[in-house]
Structure 1
Amino acid sequence: MNQGPGLYFDIGKKARDVLHKDYCQQTPIHFNYRFFAWNLDLSCEEELVHGLKGLFACNIPDSGKLELRHLSRFSGFSASIGLLGDEGKGYSPVANLSGLIGTRILSLGANLAYDISATRTTNSLNTGLSLNSPYLVASVTLHDYFQSLKGCCYFEVNPLTKTAIAAEVKYDLADDEITGVTIGAQHALFPWTLLKARLSNNGRVGALIQQKFGRKFSITVAGEVNLNEKDKEKCPKVGVYMAIK
């Protein structure tokens, strides 16, 4: 078991998994066939030497990256280079650097994404603070060049049934207003069957059921509806996600 702080992207991960992972979300660039929109995720991770791992991940046709990760007892650093897709601009080469220092309980980190194409601009600069206690997991992160703030919390009700609740609040520091609130929960009916649901302040309601077949294969069926849309446009979205690990 890793006793270190992990990586920067582990900040708020447990809350994100409950509120966002495997729901009906489509990347900016995807394949279309009639009324189907789909992507293909591939990834491979290998330990190069002790404490240093190499990772290859791609979402076809949206994005891909090569990444190096170094984990120690009190720090975690990563560096990656890849292509990021945009519907209007095409693909842009992006370099990413992140670092996290602290312990398994309390950690502080930052992340920098840099566009290495002809524009050579900084895509994003974020920083975050994470608290991982036995009773509550909470985090605060600054985004958009410190113009917006996001707070997340995760509370595990029953580890045996994976029952947990999570919440996320987004706040615009420039306009001094809350821009988004999302709450959600998960519960395992059986060790191999997981249910999740979420509700956002913009009227979006989502739910999913994930069925595992052994340790390496799972199928997820997810749905979402926007309650604020007009009756004629209030059409639920349904997606199917299959994973082999």
Structure 2
Amino acid sequence: MNQGPGLYFDIGKKARDVLHKDYCQQPPIHFNYRFFDWNLDLSFEEELLHGLKGIFACNIPGSGKLELRHLSRFSGFSASIGLLGEAEKGYNPVANLSGLIGTRILSLGANFAYDLSGTRTTNNLNAGLSLNSPYLVASATLHDYFQTLKGCCYFEVNPLTKTAIAAEVKYDLADDETTGVTVGAQHALFPWTLLKARLSSSGRVGALIQQKLGRKFSITVAGEVNLNEKDKEKFPKVGVFMAIK
């Protein structure tokens, strides 16, 4: 088990897992069959050397990447190259480099993405700070070329039942206003059954139930509805997610 700070994308991960993971999400590029939209996620990893991993991950038909990760006691670095799909522009080759330094308690890092297509421009630039304690995990990250500030917190109520609450706040530094707030919670009814729910300031309400069938297989049923839509357009979205690990 790594005792270091992890990777840049671990900043705010516990809060993101409660608020966003396995909910009804539709990538920009997806397959469609009648009234079904679907995608397939695949990933493989192999330890090349001590502390160095090679990873292949793809979302069919949305994106794919090859990544190298190096973890040490006081740092974590990753470099990847892949294709990122957009509904109108097709697939763009993107290179990504991120680094994180610190300890398991306090860490600071940055992430840099570069568009390798004809534009040859910086695709994204982020930076973040994370504070981890046994029960409270808090983070602050800058996005959109430091124009958006995102704050996340995760509070573990009961580790035995995986009971936890999380919150996320987005703040636009350019316009000096809060652009979104999301709160959520999770609780395991049994060791193999997990419930999650979330509510955002935009009026979106979501919930899911995840059932593990054995050690490596799980199935998730998730639903979401936008309360701000008109009654005629207020249709709930329902999704099914299956994973083999």
TM-score computed with the length of structure 1 as normaliser: 1.00
SS at match of 2:17: helix
Q: Does 1:243 align with 2:243?
A: yes
Pairwise CA distance, 1:117: 1.1
Deviations 1:123-168 (A, max 9, x none): 1000000001112100000001000100000000000000000000
Deviations 1:37-83 (A, max 9, x none): 00000000110000100000000000000000000000000000000
Whole-angstrom CA distance in 2 between matches of 1:222 and 1:235: 14
User: Which residue of the partner structure matches residue 48 of structure 2?
Assistant: 48
Whole-angstrom CA distance in 2 between matches of 1:87 and 1:233: 23
Whole-angstrom CA distance in 1 between matches of 2:51 and 2:225: 44
User: Which residue of the partner structure matches residue 156 of structure 2?
Assistant: 156
Deviations 1:151-193 (A, max 9, x none): 0000000000000000000000000000000000000000000
Whole-angstrom CA distance in 1 between matches of 2:123 and 2:80: 14
Whole-angstrom CA distance in 2 between matches of 1:135 and 1:29: 38
Whole-angstrom CA distance in 1 between matches of 2:59 and 2:4: 29
TM-score computed with the length of structure 2 as normaliser: 1.00
Pairwise CA distance, 1:34: 0.3
Whole-angstrom CA distance in 1 between matches of 2:70 and 2:173: 33
SS at match of 1:6: coil
Number of residues of Structure 1 aligned to a counterpart in Structure 2 = 245
Runs (4+) of structure 1 moved beyond 4 Å?
none
Pairwise CA distance, 1:118: 1.1
SS at match of 1:232: helix
Pairwise CA distance, 1:115: 0.3
Whole-angstrom CA distance in 2 between matches of 1:97 and 1:48: 19
Whole-angstrom CA distance in 1 between matches of 2:86 and 2:237: 23
Whole-angstrom CA distance in 1 between matches of 2:97 and 2:233: 42
Deviations 1:186-205 (A, max 9, x none): 00000000000000000000
User: Which residue of the partner structure matches residue 139 of structure 1?
Assistant: 139
Whole-angstrom CA distance in 1 between matches of 2:237 and 2:90: 26
Whole-angstrom CA distance in 1 between matches of 2:220 and 2:226: 20
User: Which residue of the partner structure matches residue 86 of structure 1?
Assistant: 86
Deviations 1:184-233 (A, max 9, x none): 00000000000000000000000000000111000000000000000000
Deviations 1:68-119 (A, max 9, x none): 0000000000000000000111000000000000000000000000001111
